Amino acid sequence: GRPTLTAQEVIALRKAHFFPCTQHFYRNPPVLVSGSMQRVTDSEGRVYTDFFAGVSVVASGHCNPAITKATVRQTRTLQHTTTIYLTEPSARLAQRMAGLLPAYPKVFFCNSGSEANEGALMLARRHTKRKGFIALTESLHGRTALTMSVTGLSMWRGDPFPDEDVHFIPRPYAYGVPAQEAAELSLNALRGVLQSAGDRIAAMIVEPIQGNGGMVVMPDGYLARAKKLLDEHGVLLIADEIQTGFGRTGALLCSDQLGVQADIVTLAKALGGGIPIGAFAATESVAASLDTPSASTFGGNPVSAGTALAVLDYVESQRLPERAARLGTALKLGLERMRAFYPRILSEVRGLGLMLGAELHADEPSLGAAAVDRVLEEMKDRGFLIGKNGVARNVLAFQPPLVIDASDIEAMLEQLDAVLGGLEQDRLRAEEPSVPADFPSGAEAP
């Protein structure tokens, strides 16, 4: 076959032919060429344990044979597309999802998270016959026109002409502020918007855990109280479970775990186990409003739907939600312990299950962002891929495939300890009173 390209060659091709918006992690990035469960291999044969792929698509593991078998079988059997023709996998998948998520018995299949949210927002407009939306600051909901308009994170709001009917309220979190206080502030803002504009608002869209916003879990009772206020004004709640869905947080739906039933839930990423698929699902009464013809060329195609069925089988048979809860507890404890060792570097550990974040230098975010970049690079060189997110990009993100082992977590924590230890050393050295240049080496400082 073709010779493998070096990282510099791939970067050069991307620079030449991708739009300039394209970014990559790392000063010396690996070129990934293969994957197996919780591990990926680069073009030079180095193996990495993946602590971040779960953010995207492979909660069930890279190239998991239980899932690729279904993909290959379906690819060889039927690749016909569009919901206009009858095929079996998408019908079975819809039935399966309704069984797993009984609060949302109706579903529409599409190809990505953005498309799922776009559909959910449009459905909310049809159902309520209202145009406006409420969203949280620091949220991320997608890359299409409407989903970008409800995205609060400025770095992902690239459209210079976003939809103007969006009311942002403060997310129920601020560093150093007690959770309940932050929740009250946010709910008061919600009340204010509903009082002044409630009759023009179709829905509020929320991530149960803000992923790109820095692993911010909606505080206890917040979503249920928000839902009650929304109900009083006939405003729907859309739970964006694109990062949280299908087990990562310790339950099939994180909103469920946090005590709320939404009107519409959106899903993607984990559902396809690496193959593109998105879905929005809704209650009977809300779903009834999507009654004009709508079809998708690739939405619910047999390959994606057949793969998703295998993913759901795997999630259930391997009890991945329970596994995520158990291993997540171990990882969180380890990170908390590290926070106790390095309190001046590691400010806060947040998250649920295997969706965890560790914020560095919360009081000095630009220092934190530089520290995060250094940790990412050194951890990669030690064989672990971790991620980063947060408004200031100063949060280490841990979202491994749910098939990861306890021993992988221990090994990762050991290396992280060494890397943070190095940071601490450098910090202490920088704080030492400077020694005159002509001071004899080897002698003790006065």
Given the rule CB under 6 A, which residues bind ligand PMP?
112-114, 117, 140-143, 207, 211-212, 240, 242-243, 268
CA angle 350, 352, 355 (to 5 degrees): 80
- Least gap, CB of 76 to ligand PMP (angstroms): 26
- Least gap, CB of 135 to ligand PMP (angstroms): 11
The nearer residue to ligand PMP, 242 or 320, going by C-beta atoms, is 242
Note the helical H segments in 198-301: 222-232, 254-257, 284-287
**Joined tokens for residue 106:** 């109706």
* Contact call for residues 265 and 239 (beta carbons, < 8 A): yes
The alpha carbons of the chain give a radius of gyration, in whole angstroms, of 23
The nearer residue to ligand PMP, 112 or 186, going by C-beta atoms, is 112
The nearer residue to ligand PMP, 62 or 141, going by C-beta atoms, is 141
Cα–Cα distances (Å) from 50 to 24, 243, 311, 343, 403, in that order, read 16, 16, 19, 26, 11
* Contact call for residues 278 and 266 (beta carbons, < 8 A): yes
Beta bridge partners of 278: 110
The nearer residue to ligand PMP, 130 or 143, going by C-beta atoms, is 143
* Cα–Cα distance measured from residue 84 to residue 445, given in angstroms and rounded to the nearest whole number: 81
- Least gap, CB of 397 to ligand PMP (angstroms): 11
The nearer residue to ligand PMP, 97 or 121, going by C-beta atoms, is 121
What is the bridge-based pairing of β-strands 132-136 and 395-398?
A: unpaired
- Least gap, CB of 243 to ligand PMP (angstroms): 4
* Contact call for residues 135 and 147 (beta carbons, < 8 A): no
The nearer residue to ligand PMP, 140 or 419, going by C-beta atoms, is 140
The residue whose Cβ lies closest to ligand PMP is: 113
Length of the chain: 446
* Contact call for residues 252 and 312 (beta carbons, < 8 A): no
- Least gap, CB of 2 to ligand PMP (angstroms): 28
* Cα–Cα distance measured from residue 443 to residue 446, given in angstroms and rounded to the nearest whole number: 9
The nearer residue to ligand PMP, 371 or 372, going by C-beta atoms, is 372
- Amino acid 188 reads N
CA angle 423, 352, 275 (to 5 degrees): 95
The nearer residue to ligand PMP, 242 or 395, going by C-beta atoms, is 242
* Cα–Cα distance measured from residue 303 to residue 297, given in angstroms and rounded to the nearest whole number: 13
The nearer residue to ligand PMP, 117 or 307, going by C-beta atoms, is 117
* Cα–Cα distance measured from residue 196 to residue 40, given in angstroms and rounded to the nearest whole number: 52
* Cα–Cα distance measured from residue 117 to residue 319, given in angstroms and rounded to the nearest whole number: 27
Label residue 444 exposed, middle or buried (CB < 10 Å: 0-12, 13-18, 19+).
exposed
Residue partners of 228: CB distance under 8 A and separation at least 6: none
The nearer residue to ligand PMP, 182 or 277, going by C-beta atoms, is 277
* Contact call for residues 196 and 157 (beta carbons, < 8 A): no
- Amino acid 61 reads G
Label residue 123 exposed, middle or buried (CB < 10 Å: 0-12, 13-18, 19+).
buried
The nearer residue to ligand PMP, 140 or 187, going by C-beta atoms, is 140
* Contact call for residues 101 and 252 (beta carbons, < 8 A): yes
Q: Which residue has the tokens 């819809």?
A: 94
